[in-house]
Amino acid sequence: MANVGEMSGDRSFSRRSILLGGSAVAAAAVGVAERTHRAQAQQPARQRPPNILFMLVDNLGYGELGVYGGGATRGAPTPRIDRLASEGLRLTNMNMEAQCTPSRSAILTGRYAIRSGTHSVPFGGVADGLTQWEVTLAESLSAAGYATALNGKWHLGSHNGRLPNDQGFDEWYGIPRITDEAMWPGSPGYSPNIMPPEQIMEGRKGEPSRDVKIYDLEQRRLIDAEITRRSIAFMERQARTKKPFFAYATLTQPHLPTLPNPAFVGKTGNGDWADMLAEMDHNVGEMLDAVDRLGIRDETIVIFASDNGPEFLRDWEGWAGPWKGQYFTAWEGGIRVPFLIRWPGKVPAGRVSDEIVHAVDLFPTLAKFAGAEVPKDRPIDGVDQSDFFTGKTEKSARDGILIWCADRLQAVKWKNFKVHFYQQETMVSPPVKLAIPLLFNLYTNPREDQDKQITDSWIFGPVLKMVGEFEASTKKYPLIAMGTPDPYVPPGARP
């Protein structure tokens, strides 16, 4: 048996090893779309599915926004985002995966990224992206009659066949990979003959995507304003057609290099980072204003979230507020993020909850709201949180999560307790397997200090039950290895 750290080779593993070592789909989609369109045509407009505006920012720490203890204390108030928080539900225990690629995969598939071959940020031009076998939230919503668009960062595939317009989005504009590649063109010794620069791209469903321009430092400063502009234009077009829409605005700030738009340079007097925060708040406000101007506020679900914890590298270091750590680690600061959701008349305003929610829950929850389908032919780790979000219950539909760092099951959270099987201080620190796992009570030890460990070993019972259930699912549905090419067919399935 292989341990968790060896999962990219032998995909079988056990609970004991964790402690001790650490085109049928397309046809179905068409059928769903036809049935949904017929049903929607018979519904009065007020009963049609809600629009969805999902604003996902990149590497924003838990403590950066005013409503989470930041804002002015970080050099720039965030009044528009703070107001959004007061108009719906604010979560204080929203968990993402620890890196950009896996968190975006989890949001769109409802599955832990370890299942999908997307457990790590791909570096150095290696094979990357979701296989076409995966069904995304955009594909499900599209089959349910939604217009879909992604404007911003993708990070789930770099080439035609694995870009947003290949995974359910009618249109897209943005960058396929990571923002720090904008630094390449101006770097000493860089040559595009050795490593081609990242391109800003755009594409439409059914057509190859095309390169628009090189993503350099000038474009890095300009791109979020363009993402905002295009997201608003998409919502305007759909509002005229009365068709429900999914506008996925994946802003690139504050990912390094954290450089504000020229219109915001010097605006706060507190440096680039604060100017960027002011720009982010402005862009969010522009999209919220568009929803109001179009008269669709009451029929639009608005979500604001970060994809993982804050930046680690200086001079762009972020802040996780009361939590320890940054992204690429299993500390609370690496996974616990801001999350706001507004849906007037459905999601009670002014509500704050510390109940556990995970990125994988967003697919089944939004699908429920939209009347869309969730795949039934594969493990879905997400749970439907619609009753919790709408206030029908005060309790989350889950009480724990698995925390993956790359292909390692690094920790598990259950209620207010947390078990670490590996110790890794920062993103550049080597992960060390622990002979005896670390055990914390996050209520009494939110910083996860080792000298405040608890000895309540009974907690391993529910924790290992969660691990065991995941293990059992991998025997029937093996994990997809990173870099798996298309076409992918699960073992035992008909090609």
Q: Which amino acids are annotated catalytic?
A: 100, 155
The rounded distance, in Å, linking the Cα atoms of 91 and 291 is 23
The rounded distance, in Å, linking the Cα atoms of 82 and 166 is 35
Count of residues in the chain: 495
- Cα 238 to chain centroid distance, Å, stands at 24
| Joined tokens for residue 268 | 């706060």
**Close Cβ partners of 45 (under 8 Å, ≥ 6 residues apart):** 242
Count of Cβ atoms closer than 10 Å to residue 74 Cβ: 21
* Surface-to-core class of residue 150, CB atoms within 10 Å of its CB (0-12 exposed, 13-18 middle, 19+ buried): buried
171-175/147-153 β-pairing: parallel
**Close Cβ partners of 414 (under 8 Å, ≥ 6 residues apart):** 399, 400, 459, 462, 463, 466
173, β-bridge pairs:
151, 202
| Joined tokens for residue 29 | 């989609």
Count of Cβ atoms closer than 10 Å to residue 251 Cβ: 28
- Of the candidates 383, 381, 351, 349, which has an alpha carbon nearest to the alpha carbon of residue 365? 383
| Joined tokens for residue 38 | 């017929």
Q: Say if CB 133 and CB 25 are below 8 A apart.
A: yes
The rounded distance, in Å, linking the Cα atoms of 140 and 28 is 10
| Joined tokens for residue 492 | 């035992």
- Of the candidates 405, 446, 412, 224, which has an alpha carbon nearest to the alpha carbon of residue 320? 446
Residue 330 three-state SS: coil
**Pure H helices in 329-383:** 332-335, 362-370
- Using the CB atoms, write b or e for 232-245: b if 16+ within 10 Å: bebbeebbeeeebb
The rounded distance, in Å, linking the Cα atoms of 438 and 454 is 8
The rounded distance, in Å, linking the Cα atoms of 82 and 211 is 36
* Surface-to-core class of residue 346, CB atoms within 10 Å of its CB (0-12 exposed, 13-18 middle, 19+ buried): middle
| Joined tokens for residue 92 | 């204080």
Give the amino acid at 482: M
